[in-house]
Chains A and B, each alone.
Chain A
Amino acid sequence: MTSIRCHRVTHERKSRPVLTLLLLLCNTVALTQGASDSTFAAWHTKWLTERQSQDGDDALAAAKAQGIREYFHNTRAAVAVLAGDPMLTQRETQWANNFLKVMDVTAVPLVTNRPDEILAEIPPSRDPVRKAKDLSGELRLTVTGDPFDVSNPTTMSGDFVIFQGTTNEILIPGNSESRAAQTLFRTAAKLHVVLRQSNLPAMVAVNESIARAKQRWDNFVANAISDQFPWETSINGALASIDKNEMFSGTLAYPPRLQLRLAHPFAAEAVAVEGESTFVPRMVIEAIGIRRFAAETYEPVYGFSLVAIPKLDSEESWGYGIVYTRRVFSAGLVVQDLEQGDDTVQIVLGLKFSQLLKQKAIGLKQRLAAVKDRLEIFGHCFSNTARCPAN
């Protein structure tokens, strides 16, 4: 009867802290009166399947109406009433006292007693992680952590445990018929759900940071690592292993924007600057160089390399020079002893750059041809107006 009356009060006045406290007390007393005919294990199974979600919803609604701090303090008051219930056995009283101790240890000592003002002092932020800290500010001003997690408390044996592994451990035998144990268990579960949901904005922010980092790493692997040979992957890995070398190691959230090039062959076209010569395909080796990548997209931005061109016959020597790369287009100068003479300076163009130039040249040729055609038509018009097209 008491329980029913209290239940009605919940729905009518649940936003009022005093009445809420009254409700919690009534529920607690009602739950502990009389012996249960079911064991804790049986009750737990039934509660988990039929009642736990509703408990969670009720707790979240109450916490939303009261605020986390008020909810936490009201819950503590209810457990204190339970601990003082003379009907409890000695063991049950000990459990309730342990619960109270954990709540007291977990509660943040409100030295200033003005949490709202402290919260107001935290400047709003657009950064998701910082913003989440703002949002979960009240949580962290209320409790130092969440020791109330009772998801699967029976891993190692048939007994149930709250605060497992602590000095305040509450060990409930699976065959216990204690209603107080059920109340404490439900209270822990409710507190856990409330604290976890209060922490959710901070968890979402971490997940968003990681998702952005994943996109960066995907871009880095697709643009930087996929352009490397095994020895370059190894040397860049070794450079990244050096402590305090963020230039080459980056961080977990940000891959490095620099990568070393080492003995990296690439296809190019080369032409001697002096004398009659045409572009000839050549393989060029970037002996050592550096590539810089764009933030976020990790597309190549620029790079410098010292390069070598291997000699192909006895009249040639190895050539040496420098190549500059902008995005994927490379161009440079190389000095090499060739048939044309010693120390012949050659222009070297990466294949993509030379193809681009050829396309441009073809485009230019086509445009010149088009202009020439128009000029011819114009010449005809000038000499014979009757044959001139309308436009």
Chain B
Amino acid sequence: MASRPLVFLIHGMGKHDGTWAEGFVSTLDKCIVKHKYRNLVGRKISELVEFVPIVYDNYFEDTTAAWKKNSAAILEQASPAEKEIFESAVDWAAGLDPQSKAEEFAWTHAVDVLLWRAHPLIRNAVKTQVADRITGSIVKRLKDNPADLLNTSIVSHSLGTSVCKHVLEDLSRGGWSMGRTGFDPTFFHFTSLHTVANICALLDFPGYYGAYAGFVKPGPSGDPDSYCKYFACYANQFDPFAVVRPFEPPQWNHDMFDVKRVNHVHDLNVHALEHYALHPLVHITMFRSWLGYHTVPAEEEITAISNFATIGPKITKAAQNRLKELVSRSSGAIGSTPDLVDVLKGITLFYREVKP
């Protein structure tokens, strides 16, 4: 019996702990039940696939927690006369605790993007942690099951698409080991990369970290210039972060690359990974890349898509209008040639309204 595919899950912006992937996995299970895929029904997806959820939010959390702690300590230790002097400088940091849930939701999302984009040292810490998890799991699996074919896949979401891109660029170049060694593309290709609400083009890093530059693109195994055999990108037309500057590689091999455009609204947070996973185009593509094309035959795919309601039962007409306005405002704030501040404005506007 061949071993289960290894699927790494990389989260997006916002607060995430070790249990963050449970929502996504249970959504996939619900989709199997709802659409009655005959090769999957009665099974949990985690019986067929080994999910490895990866958390990197701890570095963002620790940094902002340290700011708060240091600022609070200064105010605590200062005499009343000194307090007046220092309050203006550090009080805002001590008061980083947002006043409401909605503000906190917006703040945690924006600060993650800010620290990732603007701080190379925190970025390197994040990349190293993610790379450690990926390489550690692959090496362990190859030691435990030396004879098996190994299907390795990554599902990254939102900010995680940028994290994934950076990690794989560095891994392919032997960034941690001073040169190209075990994980170089000529000897190792990921089977599939799934980027949900890909924001690589939006964050616009220079050099080989640029959205379409570098090795993170699909290509044949053994090819020194690519790092995966299949690359999928999913974009919801109501998701401001996926449509303002969409991920559209110019000349990638279309036999190995897909953009899956969806337009469903079952919740106001159309950017959420779980919300994307509801759409048959999204979860069927994932199932097939992990378990083979024949897992969901073509006729089942057609039926599932035609039966899928674009507007969810909980979404009223008023909610639809509100979402349209919100998307328009967020997209407007981001603009067509956004810098980091524009992106942060867009995130804050969107997540203030879209509550957890």
B127 within 8 A of A: yes
Q: With a CB–CB cut-off of 8 A, which chain A residues contact B188?
A: 146, 199, 203
Known contacts A150-B149, A237-B122, then 17 further A-B pairs from the complex at CB < 8 Å, ordered by chain A residue: A145-B223, A147-B221, A149-B222, A155-B288, A164-B255, A165-B255, A195-B187, A196-B142, A221-B62, A221-B125, A222-B62, A227-B66, A252-B170, A252-B175, A265-B86, A267-B77, A283-B79
Q: With a CB–CB cut-off of 8 A, which chain A residues contact B135?
A: 203, 206-207, 210
A196-B142, A283-B77 known; A252+B124 contact, CB < 8 A: yes
How many A-B pairs fall under 8 Å by CB? 275
Are B187 and A233 in contact, with the CB atoms below 8 A? no
Are A165 and B63 in contact, with the CB atoms below 8 A? no
A255-B121, A310-B82 known; A233+B146 contact, CB < 8 A: no
A222 — nearest CB in chain B belongs to which residue?
Answer: B62
B window 213-259: CB within 8 A of A? 218-224, 229-230, 253, 255-256, 258
B170–chain A nearest beta-carbon distance, Å: 6
- A90 to B135 alpha-carbon distance, docked (Å): 43
Are B127 and A145 in contact, with the CB atoms below 8 A? no
Are A207 and B151 in contact, with the CB atoms below 8 A? no
Contact with B along A240-261 (1 / 0, CB 8 A): 1100000001101101100000
Are B219 and A229 in contact, with the CB atoms below 8 A? no
Contact with B along A140-166 (1 / 0, CB 8 A): 000011111111101111100001111
- CB<8 Å pairs between A and B, sample of 5: A155-B192, A156-B256, A229-B70, A253-B176, A256-B121
Are B139 and A200 in contact, with the CB atoms below 8 A? yes
B318 within 8 A of A: no
Q: With a CB–CB cut-off of 8 A, which chain A residues contact B73?
A: 267
A234 within 8 A of B: yes
Q: With a CB–CB cut-off of 8 A, which chain A residues contact B5?
A: 152
A165-B253, A210-B131, A217-B128 known; A155+B149 contact, CB < 8 A: no
Partner of A233, one of B63, B127, B170, B220: B63
B99–chain A nearest beta-carbon distance, Å: 19
Partner of A53, one of B82, B122, B142, B147: B147
Q: With a CB–CB cut-off of 8 A, which chain B residues contact A226?
A: 62-63, 66
Partner of B220, one of A164, A228, A255, A283: A164
Are B292 and A152 in contact, with the CB atoms below 8 A? yes
Are B82 and A48 in contact, with the CB atoms below 8 A? no
B-to-A contact residues, CB < 8 Å: 1-2, 5, 59, 62-63, 66-67, 70-71, 73-74, 77-79, 81-82, 85-86, 89-90, 93, 118-122, 124-125, 127-129, 131-132, 135-136, 138-139, 142-143, 145-152, 170-171, 174-179, 181-183, 186-189, 191-192, 218-224, 229-230, 253, 255-256, 258, 288-294, 298
Q: With a CB–CB cut-off of 8 A, which chain B residues contact A200?
A: 139, 142-143, 146, 182
A window 154-188: CB within 8 A of B? 154-158, 163-166, 174
A-to-B contact residues, CB < 8 Å: 41, 44-45, 48-50, 52-57, 59-60, 106, 129, 132-133, 136, 139, 144-152, 154-158, 163-166, 174, 189, 192-193, 195-197, 199-207, 209-211, 213-214, 217-218, 220-222, 225-230, 233-234, 236-237, 240-241, 249-250, 252-253, 255-256, 263, 265-267, 281-283, 310, 312-313, 351
What does DSSP make chain A's interface, helix, strand, loop or mixed? helix
B6–chain A nearest beta-carbon distance, Å: 10
Q: With a CB–CB cut-off of 8 A, which chain B residues contact A193?
A: 146-149
Partner of A60, one of B138, B147, B178: B147
- A139 to B294 alpha-carbon distance, docked (Å): 35
Are A60 and B146 in contact, with the CB atoms below 8 A? yes
- A108 to B289 alpha-carbon distance, docked (Å): 32
Are A49 and B146 in contact, with the CB atoms below 8 A? no
Are A225 and B176 in contact, with the CB atoms below 8 A? no
B178 — nearest CB in chain A belongs to which residue?
Answer: A129
A116–chain B nearest beta-carbon distance, Å: 22
A152-B192, A225-B122, A265-B74 known; A133+B176 contact, CB < 8 A: no
Most buried by B among A197, A203, A255: A203
B292 — nearest CB in chain A belongs to which residue?
Answer: A154
Are A312 and B82 in contact, with the CB atoms below 8 A? yes
Q: With a CB–CB cut-off of 8 A, which chain B residues contact A253?
A: 175-178
A147 — nearest CB in chain B belongs to which residue?
Answer: B222
Are B183 and A152 in contact, with the CB atoms below 8 A? no
B170 — nearest CB in chain A belongs to which residue?
Answer: A252
A249-B120, A252-B127 known; A56+B66 contact, CB < 8 A: no
Q: With a CB–CB cut-off of 8 A, which chain B residues contact A252?
A: 124, 127-128, 170, 175-176
Are B187 and A146 in contact, with the CB atoms below 8 A? yes
- A214 to B223 alpha-carbon distance, docked (Å): 29
Q: With a CB–CB cut-off of 8 A, which chain A residues contact B170?
A: 252
A214-B128, A265-B86, A310-B85 known; A206+B181 contact, CB < 8 A: yes
Q: With a CB–CB cut-off of 8 A, which chain A residues contact B288?
A: 154-155
